[in-house]
Amino acid sequence: MSTSIQSSPTDKLVVEDPMTPYTKKWVRRFLYFAFLNFIIAGALALFMRTDQAGSASDIGPLGTAQVFGQLLTAHGLGMFVGWQFPFTYGLVMFIFPKYMKRKLYNEKLLPIIFTLFFAGFYMVWLSTALGFGPGWYFLFPLPFQAGPVGGIIPWGDMQALLFFAGMIIANSSLFVFAYEVFATAYSSKYKDDYNNKPGMNTSMSAKFAGSIGFTSYMPKLVRTRILNYPPAVVAAVVTTIDMIISAPPFTVLLADGALVSMHDPGFLNNLIAKNFLWINYHPIVYFAFFPLIGMYYTLIPIFSKRSFSSERWLYAAWPLLLISAVGVYSHHLFLDTSQPYILQLTAQNMSMLVSFGSGISVFTLMALIWRSKYEYSLSAKFLVASIFGWVIGGIMGTEQGNAAFDIYLHNTYTVVSHFHFNGLDGIILAAFGVFYYILPEISGKQWYSKTLGEIHFWTTCIGGFGLAFDFAAMGYLGVGRRQFQPINSLLPFTITLNYQLYLDLALFFALFVAAAQIPFLWNLHRTLTGPTVKIEATPASLEELRIPVAAPAPIVHAVNARSSLNEVGSVGGAVPNSAGIGLSSTNSMPRQKEID
């Protein structure tokens, strides 16, 4: 599959490596920016835990209800938006050239995406620093009616306007990103197999089916004539479609918020506003997770030296996840009885569909590892741990996705536990695994220390899982989330005295997670300030892993190698057969020529 792009009818440019230095540079910037925001948002969480454990007076100006509200707003936004968006942007921009072998359609858009997001999101964080604190999900009309605390109105219209303007700017980066994704995925300008393979259906509808995994549901006669996109690309396309479907109503909500901040009456009622919020804020939680699942499907065959039993199972979950990721949103409104009944029932069944799709994926991945020669490298361990977090969080999410049971769980710490299992112990762990794996390739630097990486892995797991299990225990006790002081001397609960142990444990495990990032940061610092070396590219699929040592390595100058690979039948990263080959590597770093 030679990779070329015709930028204009008269200017045909043959690209030697679709992963250009320029793309790598911006992928790095997105990922560094994401992890910077992760560290900042994590530190904010640490102060929240300190507040709740009753130790706030030990750390000076913190320890008021107002600061707690600002912290919980900034922390949630920092993780769901500030970390997740740039991470996904960076990862997806890596996925296309790496696994689809296509140069990005217009890589000059990358700095635009970065700048829009950077400017917008830091306006959002600035608004929280100035007092804005309605929570990371801002239910109308709270952003405009802060309510007095100690006779003081904690935020006003200026902070609200800053927040909404920042969110609009940050979200506009999503539209540019989506353009880049769709253009790269579907443009007919690329002269490769997806557009030109003889005997295959390369129509736009066929490409679309191949890009979302819908071929799994087609008759054999039809699906064998459609080229499936690589799993990581399918995941990237699906998450982008979900976000772009849900972006217009959310943008309307933000615009309405900006108007109300400027003393306009606005045009959305509170129920519609809540719908417009969650129709976007639910898919947000999948924005990074879907591409990371795509990376599971890409890397776990490599780590286990095995291919999937069939392409159908590989792709079957994606159309389900595409539909349910948005359709599920109304489960956030289970307790609004004025929400149309049909939406509640739809959301409940969509929640089950998400669990079903996740169940298929987890089984497929675990079956691949089962009795394989799984390579427990650092990245491989991160991925397995994150699948564990995904399953545990999924069990809890299934309970919460049932409207009848949600009356016990909604807005308790079970919800906090659910998204810490899925977020911290699922998405973040997977993100670390992928980051450890791809950093050498995009930076030209070898990781400074494997030991520091191991320390990072184990301490993050202990802290992350400890924290989420502790939240689960609190949730089943009935502790409400977002309480500045769950134990309140004015509250006539005697039972709340039992909360103290769990609040202290939450602080302990949060400190553990925070401490775990120190070796990571030091390792990253030493790595990036270390010497630049020639790094072999990681294999894009199990097929590439099987290249004999004597063959050209699939690295920086690997266009020829890739071409020869494709000549023997590699199909865009899909892995056709065989029960694995013997590898002995235990190194998480990009492979050396160690294939037997």
Partner 1 sequence: MHPFLALNPAQLGFGIGFLEDLFIVGTLITIVAFIALFFSTRRPDAIDKHSLAKYEKHWTIMLVVIFAVFSISTFSLLPYPYAHSNVVPTMTVDVQAQQFSWCLSPQGTWGGSNCIAPYQIPVGSTVLFVVRSLDVTHGFGVYNSAGAILFQVQVMPNFTNSILYQFTKPGTYYVRCLEFCGYGHYLMFTNFVVTNATS
> Which residues, numbered 253-282, are part of the site for partner 1 (CB under 8 A)?
269-271, 274
The region of 4-12, 168-176, 235-243, 410-418 touching partner 1 under the rule CB under 8 A is: 410-418
Preceding peptide of 111 cis, ω within 30°: no
Which three-class secondary structure string do you get for 85-145? HHHHHHHHHHHHHHHHCCCCCCCCHHHHHHHHHHHHHHHHHHHHHCCCCCCCCCCCCHHHC
User: Any idea what the Cα angle at residue 487 is, between residues 483 and 492, rounded to 5°?
Assistant: 110
Distance CA(84)–CA(88), nearest Å, equals 6
User: Which lies closer to partner 1 via its Cβ, residue 81 or residue 110?
Assistant: 81
The region of 194-202, 238-246, 395-403, 500-508 touching partner 1 under the rule CB under 8 A is: 395-403
Distance CA(587)–CA(596), nearest Å, equals 16
The region of 15-23, 114-122, 159-167, 347-355 touching partner 1 under the rule CB under 8 A is: 347-355
Closest CA to 140 of 17, 261, 246: 261
Closest CA to 556 of 90, 190, 13, 18: 18
Does 367 engage in binding with partner 1 (CB under 8 A)? yes
What part of residues 152-211 is at the interface with partner 1 (CB under 8 A)? 154
List 107, 399, 454, 504, residue binding partner 1 (CB under 8 A): 399
Least distance to partner 1, CB of residue 304, Å: 8
The region of 109-117, 203-211, 342-350, 534-542 touching partner 1 under the rule CB under 8 A is: 342-350
The region of 82-90, 408-416, 452-460, 532-540 touching partner 1 under the rule CB under 8 A is: 408-416
Number of residues that bind partner 1 (CB under 8 A): 95
What part of residues 476-495 is at the interface with partner 1 (CB under 8 A)? 476-478, 480-486, 488, 490-495
What part of residues 293-322 is at the interface with partner 1 (CB under 8 A)? 306, 309-310, 313
User: Which lies closer to partner 1 via its Cβ, residue 102 or residue 223?
Assistant: 223
Give 282: exposed, middle or buried? Use CB within 10 Å, 0-12, 13-18, 19+: buried
The DSSP secondary structure of 163-202, one letter per residue, reads HHHHHHHHHHHHHHHHHHHHHHHH-TTB-SHHHH-TTS--
Where in 4-109 does DSSP place strands (E)? 4-8, 11-14
Least distance to partner 1, CB of residue 485, Å: 5
What mask of x and - would describe binding to partner 1 in positions 43 to 82, judged by CB under 8 A? ----------------------xx-xx--x----------
Phi, psi of 296, deg, nearest 5? -55, -50
Least distance to partner 1, CB of residue 519, Å: 24
Distance CA(576)–CA(36), nearest Å, equals 39
Least distance to partner 1, CB of residue 75, Å: 13
The total of other beta-carbon atoms located within 10 Å of residue 221's CB is 7
Distance CA(483)–CA(485), nearest Å, equals 5
Based on DSSP, count helices (H) and strands (E) in the chain, helices before strands: 22, 2
Least distance to partner 1, CB of residue 373, Å: 4
Least distance to partner 1, CB of residue 141, Å: 6
List 55, 106, 187, 372, residue binding partner 1 (CB under 8 A): 372
What part of residues 97-156 is at the interface with partner 1 (CB under 8 A)? 133-135, 139-142, 145-149, 154
